[in-house]
Amino acid sequence: MRRFLARRLAHGAAVIFIAASLSFLLVHLAPGDPFSTTLDSVSINPSVKAAWRAAYGLDRPLLEQYFRFLGQLARGNLGPSLLQPGPASTALADAVPNTLLLMGTALVLSFVIGIGVGSWQAARAGSRGDRAAGNVSLVVASLPEFWLAAVLLLVFAYRFRVFPAAGVVDLVMHDSLSPAGRLLDRLRHLALPALTLSLLGSASIARYQRAALLDVLPQDFIRTARAKGVTDRLVLWRHALRNALVPTIVLLGLSLPTLLGGAVFVEQVFSWPGLGRLAAAAFHARDYQVVIGATIMGAVLVVVGGILADLLHAAVDPRVRAQ
Amino acid sequence: MREWIGPRISVLLASTLACTLAAAACSAGEKQPVDAEAVGGSIVIAAQNEPRTLLPPLITQIDEKIIADQIFEPLAVLGDEGHLDHDYRPGLADSWSWESDSTAIVFHLNTKARWQDGKPVRASDVRFTFGLYTDSIVGFKDRSSLARIDSVTARDSVTAVFWFKNRYAEQFYDAATRLLIVPEHLLAREPRATLLTSAFGRKPVGSGRFRLGKWTPNASIELVADTANYHGRPNLDRVVFAVTTDPTALPTRITTGEIDLAEVSSPVMFRTLKEQPDLRARMNPSYDYSFLLFNARKPRQRQQPNALFADIGLRRAVSMGLDRAKLVRSQFDSLAVVSTGPMTRAQPLADSTIATIGYDSAGAARLLDSLGWTLPAGKTVRERRGQPLKFAVLVPTISSNRMTLIVAIQESLRKLGMEVVVDAVGGNTFVARLGARDFDVVFDGRHVEPSVAGLRAYWSVASARDANGLNFGNYENPRFDAHLDSALAARDLASARPHAKQAFETIVADVPAVWIYETRTATLMHKRIKPVHIVSTAWWAGIADWSIPAAERLPRDRVGLRVASR
Amino acid sequence: MASSAPDRGGAFDRAGGASPWRSALATLARDRSAMAGLAILAALAVIALAAPYVAPYDPRAQPDIVTLKYLPPTLAHPFGTDQLSRDVLSRIIFGSRVSLSVAFLGVAVAVTVGTGYGAIAGYLGGKLDGFMMRVVDALLSIPRVLLLIAVATLWNGLELAGLVLLLGLTGWFGVSRLVRTLVLSAREDEFVTAARALGATHTRILIHHILPQVVSPVLVAATLAIGNVIVMEAGLTFLGMGVRPPNASWGSIVYDGRDVAAAWWISISGGAALVITVLAVNLLADGLREALNARQLPAR
């Protein structure tokens, strides 16, 4: 187990290293130097610009810049941000927890919904209900994330005022609520964005779960359990689910990059101050440092999530632990 | 029930207004009588962008200005009517006088004036602030507007003197309103080159009636009432600025009541939101105009004339080919009018009677033919000596109005045989290219002030020749400069007016740009808010005196102050 | 020609003497949803190609920007008009050209690069293969949207060609992994060993014996990718960084309609075009997967 973890950690570190190197490469391949648009606005004094360029070693040979970049990255220094003056890492540090909250909730929701619907479908495979759910799944899986978000915002926040339209907490009242009230406030604001983000994933998980269950159900040990007189319900939930859960959990790790991608759009529509919204704002402001930082941060999130998913997989599936 | 509430509100309103006006009229610095009924309330204002810094000389965005105007104070505040030459209310200074044949203004600071950290406000703060604003390293955006102030001295701890190079109509406006006074004791030791990233910009300390409460990045900025303020506490408990960058979210948040107040410039949003029974709309006078600026020189350099637009005939043809009235009405309904020159109608010296180029597409076609731009058989784009009439227009993506209008303009000019390419770029790139004069035509927008002094920075010969100057289109006409100088040197607005008119006539006749629209914004606010002191240039100037009647309060208004100071 | 392929079942089963492709097509033809998907895509392709003849109006025409703007759907304008009085239906029809061609070309770039990379890695095997796949794993870990935003920020003013390249160059990672797995197993086949014994060069083996087996799974993956890329491009345009005026894709139409709660028909029609296309693509891809029996592909 420890060897497994060590291997995964090493793998993860390699991934982050490659992602960072790619970012460095991109910044230096791009036209202009990294500060050319953030600093070349009319009102900034030329001596200030020169000082910043020198401080970031932009006049050094490329290889030296590369190592300096990696060193600073290891220390968490991503350079200055002009979008929110101050270190880019501060802006990212503020945004990441919000994205984690959103993605974490969406992940859990999509699995709960997906496994639930998939199991429900498998239990009545071939029936009208199964086919109807399958069609709905397919349609939902085909919806563009940003469009779905905009539609849900219009319906649930604008038309029927069920949920708030934006933000993480109520801007005025939050601090004065009781702890229970504050929790409820946070949940109310989290509900719609998390639901939107989870829908796309839950559709594919449902399909996967259904297929996985249908593979497992005819297998020998299920028949044995049935022969032993175990009732249908119990058979399904205990034995089949346990086995079918495994490939679905593998999907958990694989779905992280897509989920983060979807989060970019959901955060934009719901004004959720997370990593995706920051990246989009940094794009409009041509804030290179924040955009690069967001890309690397995204890779880090995916890697960490993947490792956690692998641990979960190993916990559930004894065959993995034996490796 | 309704009759009972009605008179009560109007009595409340009247008494609040009366108290406010009375306090303003007498320039003694006594604390305003606080009407206990009016105290309380929280309003949420929409901010379109996340502010970068709240340090006054570094402010570039309107959201930053609105917030900074609550935290800091100028020496005096422009009166509601916007009369530049005579109508002001006390700010940090409670009285002032003229000296030395009107080349010096003496400001007497309110002796009770305190910074929000308790230290007293001194004349040395005023002198320090002036030094900061005029320092080229700090890079205040409108530094040229302070150019006619020679220096600021501190005669004693509560008297600051502004010395001018000569007399002109807007002396008082420049001295009293342009500087938001900042505390020397907190900023003196900050290195000037990196002020943008200084901590003060995120945790400002001013003398205004609101303090910074909590700043949640990318979400909200909360200002709380400064209860110990020497002017007296504001009526409202807090003002929260909610950062709303996504346009879909803004009308939704207003409709659901999450946001109480927003400045709206999109006519469709305005039309839908105006219908809401809970909202009141207020039109603000226009201080913004947009125009298609031609570059008289080749992009990025100053030596050679522009291949296309050095020719006044072509510029005139483009202007004649655009039905500006229709463009403006289509895009804005009632929220904009056709611009007539580098000014807006709200400016006291503006003159909209000046002759302008009207829409005449047939005339434009004839003019183009006479210039040699003819339409070869079977082609849609005019040519002259084998060169097609094709050019790019630089447009900033941040302005959705201009992004939509350019498509309509593109189509109109296509019918005239011109091929227009839209060069849409983001904010910083746009600013960079503008400064580098890297364009043939740019769809620029400008914010003006009541004073026309800003014209010099944007249209003078000196500014054209200065590589860092703001005369991006390289417009040079010494006669315009002369008329403008005469206007600015006049002693009062009445004698400035004929010179200003001649200046405007000169520049409009030169067609350096096609003046497209003057836009006004509408402020939509929740009906329970009772606004006062809506200054024409800044609807937000009097927020400290706004109130919410007790009977109309929402749950968020009843959240007291004590909790918020966490 | 692959003649003595070992029995893999499904379409490549030579029992009955039918050619593998024909029986695959027959299976596909029996799948009604896949056929529906194919029909929709074929119709879209026809509409895109024949746009000037199909569209009721010129998509750039602005008849009257004051009185005819934001008209709700009527018979004359089935999808209404937009803020410049342009007919939305015509804009959608012409927009299909941009959306479909960007997606198609982007996927073509991705498939080409991915197949090349994966084939080389799988064929060469060993340490080099391990390293190449590590790099691909790393690239797969970077969320694609963030990478797209990063490149769009760095390369200012991305035109359509640049957008196609960008979408293609960020989409080849999955294909390369797939191809590499297939090539790795195909490398061990008897006929490959035989061919090598007969003195065939590596290139010839790769192209004539191995790649044909890669075609069907890659085809399924490519079909799915088209749907992904259409949505990705629309999403980028929605964020303001994809297709820009005067070009208009479906994403541009949704973007134009985004701040108007009153003119819902603009974003709904743009979104509907996207949904229908992606749905059709998914149905077709599902059918293809069944017909070609390429079960080792990840489910959508």
Residues from chain C contacting residue B397 (CB–CB below 8 Å): 240
Task: Reply yes or no on whether the pLDDT at A288 is more than 80.
Answer: no
Identify the CA nearest to C261 among candidates B541, B362, B252, B423: B252
Return the H-helix or E-strand segment holding B338.
strand B336-338
Asked if residues B231 and B223 have their Cβ atoms less than 8 Å apart, the reply is no
Burial class (CB in 10 A: 0-12, 13-18, 19+), A196: buried
> How do the residues of chain B divide into helix, strand and coil, expressed in percent and rounded to 5?
35, 20, 45
Task: Give mean pLDDT, residues A166-186.
Answer: 86
A41/B563 Cβ within 8 A: no
| Contact residues, A window 161-190, toward B, CB-based 8 Å cutoff | 161, 164-168, 170-173, 175-176
| Contact residues, B window 15-54, toward A, CB-based 8 Å cutoff | 42, 44, 50, 52-53
* Distances C192 to A134, C119, C189 between C-alpha atoms, Å: 42, 15, 5
Q: Which of A105-114, B235-244, C37-46, C148-157 has the lowest mean pLDDT?
A: C148-157
Distance CA B513, CA B341 (A): 9
C298/A254 Cβ within 8 A: yes
Interface predicted TM-score (ipTM) of this complex, two decimals: 0.81
A19/C142 Cβ within 8 A: yes
Q: How many CA atoms lie within 13 A of C4 on its CB side?
A: 6
For the stretch B427-469, pLDDT in tens is 667 888 888 899 999 999 988 888 888 888 899 999 999 888 8
For the stretch B11-28, pLDDT in tens is 444 444 444 444 444 434
Beta strand B419-425 with B390-396: parallel, antiparallel or unpaired?
Answer: parallel
Domain spans in chain C, listed from the N-terminal domain onward: 65-295
Note the pLDDT of residue C130.
Answer: 87
Return the H-helix or E-strand segment holding B288.
strand B288-294
Identify the CA nearest to A244 among candidates A271, A277, A219: A219
Percent of chain A with pLDDT strictly greater than 70:
84
* Distances A1 to A316, A318, B513 between C-alpha atoms, Å: 13, 11, 72
C149/A294 Cβ within 8 A: yes
Note the pLDDT of residue B367.
Answer: 94
User: Which residue shows structure tokens 């001013």?
Assistant: B206
Task: Give mean pLDDT, residues B150-174.
Answer: 90
Please list, in sequence order, all residues whose beta carbon lies within 8 angstroms of the beta carbon of residue B207, skipping any fewer than 6 positions away.
B72, B73, B92, B113, B114, B115, B116, B121, B181, B229, B230
> How do the residues of chain A divide into helix, strand and coil, expressed in percent and rounded to 5?
80, 0, 20
Amino acid at B263: E
User: Which residues does residue B530 pair with via DSSP β-bridges, in sequence order?
Assistant: B547
Residues from chain B contacting residue A51 (CB–CB below 8 Å): 193
Dihedral (CA of B173, B179, B181, B185) sign:
negative
A29, A141, A146 member nearest C238 (Cβ): A146
Task: Give mean pLDDT, residues B245-268.
Answer: 82
3-state SS record for B232-262: CCCCCCEEEEEECCCCCHHHHHHHCCCCCEE
Cβ count near B412 (within 10 Å): 22
Task: Reply yes or no on whether the pLDDT at B565 is more than 50.
Answer: no
User: Which residue shows structure tokens 């009285």?
Assistant: B95
Distance CA C139, CA B269 (A): 42
Whether B222 and chain A come into contact, CB under 8 Å, resolves to yes
User: Which residues does residue B438 pair with via DSSP β-bridges, in sequence order?
Assistant: none
* Distances C106 to A251, A275, B320, C109 between C-alpha atoms, Å: 26, 27, 43, 5
Strand order in the sheet with B441-447: B336-338, B513-519, B288-294, B441-447, B390-396, B419-425
Residue among B248, B329, B330 with most chain C CBs within 10 A, to mutate = B330
Distance CA B514, CA B292 (A): 5
CATH number for the segment(s) C65-295: 1.10.3720.10
Distance from B526 to chain C by nearest Cα, in Å?
A: 20
B238/A91 Cβ within 8 A: no
- pLDDT-derived band of residue B512, with 50, 70 and 90 as boundaries? very high
Note the pLDDT of residue C262.
Answer: 64
Instruction: Give pLDDT < 50 ranges for chain C.
Output: 1-17, 294-300
Greater confidence (A64 vs C156) lies with A64
Note the pLDDT of residue A131.
Answer: 86
Distance CA B383, CA B372 (A): 8
- pLDDT-derived band of residue B268, with 50, 70 and 90 as boundaries? confident
A158/C141 Cβ within 8 A: no
Distance CA B473, CA A318 (A): 73
Task: Give mean pLDDT, residues B144-166.
Answer: 91
User: Which residues does residue B384 pair with via DSSP β-bridges, in sequence order?
Assistant: B387
Q: How many CA atoms lie within 13 A of C82 on its CB side?
A: 29
Note the pLDDT of residue B71.
Answer: 96
Model pTM greater than 0.90? Answer: no
Note the pLDDT of residue B564.
Answer: 43
Report the chain A residue with the minimal C-alpha distance to residue C253: A147
Q: What's the token pair of residue B243?
A: 């950062």
Task: Reply yes or no on whether the pLDDT at A224 is more than 80.
Answer: no
Task: Reply yes or no on whether the pLDDT at B197 is more than 90.
Answer: no
Distance CA B489, CA B467 (A): 26
Note the pLDDT of residue C3.
Answer: 39
Residue among C60, C239, C244 with most chain B CBs within 10 A, to mutate = C244
Asked if residues B193 and B202 have their Cβ atoms less than 8 Å apart, the reply is no
Give Rg (Cα) of chain B: 25
DSSP sequence for B43-108: EEEEESS------GGG--SHHHHHHHHHHS--SEEE-TT--TTT-EEESSEEEEEEETTTTEEEEE
Residues from chain B contacting residue C62 (CB–CB below 8 Å): 408, 411
Note the pLDDT of residue C1.
Answer: 37
Residues from chain A contacting residue C278 (CB–CB below 8 Å): 142-144
Amino acid at C203: T
**Which of the residue ranges B134-148, B177-191, B326-340, C207-221 has the most confident prediction, judged by mean pLDDT?**
B177-191
Distance CA B7, CA B12 (A): 8
User: Which residue shows structure tokens 């002259």?
Assistant: B384
Report the chain B residue with the minimal C-alpha distance to residue A154: B252
For the stretch C219-256, pLDDT in tens is 888 998 998 899 999 988 888 788 877 778 898 888 88
Q: Which of A227-236, B204-213, B263-272 has the lowest mean pLDDT?
A: A227-236
Note the pLDDT of residue B480.
Answer: 95
User: Which residues does residue B151 pair with via DSSP β-bridges, in sequence order?
Assistant: B163
Alpha helix stretches (DSSP H) within chain C: 20-30, 32-49, 51-54, 88-124, 126-141, 144-154, 160-169, 173-186, 190-197, 202-205, 211-238, 250-256, 264-292
Distance CA A62, CA A57 (A): 10
* Distances A63 to A20, B361, B543 between C-alpha atoms, Å: 14, 60, 55
C259/B250 Cβ within 8 A: yes
C245/B406 Cβ within 8 A: yes
For the stretch A294-322, pLDDT in tens is 888 888 888 888 888 888 877 777 776 66
Q: Which of B92-96, B211-215, B350-354 has the lowest mean pLDDT?
A: B350-354
Q: Give residue A1's Cα distance to chain centre.
A: 26
Distance CA B319, CA C266 (A): 32
How many residues are given for chain C?
300
A168, A171, A284 member nearest B426 (Cβ): A284
For the stretch B20-53, pLDDT in tens is 444 444 434 444 555 567 788 999 999 988 888 8
Amino acid at A226: R
Percent of chain B with pLDDT strictly greater than 70:
92
Q: Which of A58-62, A259-263, B379-383 has the lowest mean pLDDT?
A: A58-62
Q: What's the token pair of residue C73?
A: 């759907």
Beta strand B288-294 with B210-216: parallel, antiparallel or unpaired?
Answer: unpaired
Distance from B435 to chain A by nearest Cα, in Å?
A: 6
Amino acid at B385: R
Note the pLDDT of residue C39.
Answer: 93
Distance CA B129, CA B179 (A): 7
Q: Give residue C117's Cα distance to chain centre.
A: 19
A27, A151, A283 member nearest C241 (Cβ): A283
Residues from chain B contacting residue C83 (CB–CB below 8 Å): 268, 330-331, 404
Neighbour subunits, C (≥3 Cβ pairs < 8 A):
A, B
Return the H-helix or E-strand segment holding A147.
helix A145-153
Asked if residues C290 and C221 have their Cβ atoms less than 8 Å apart, the reply is no
User: Which residues does residue B390 pair with via DSSP β-bridges, in sequence order?
Assistant: B419
Distance CA A128, CA A89 (A): 53
Alpha helix stretches (DSSP H) within B321-379: 324-332, 361-371
Strands (E), B355-503: 383-384, 387-388, 390-396, 419-425, 441-447
Distance CA B64, CA B51 (A): 5
Distance CA B249, CA B219 (A): 13
Distance from B248 to chain C by nearest Cα, in Å?
A: 5
Q: Give residue C137's Cα distance to chain centre.
A: 21
Question: What are the phi and psi torsion angles at B117 (to 5°)?
Answer: -95, 10
Please list, in sequence order, all residues whose beta carbon lies within 8 angstroms of the beta carbon of residue A203, skipping any fewer than 6 positions away.
A114, A137, A138, A140, A141
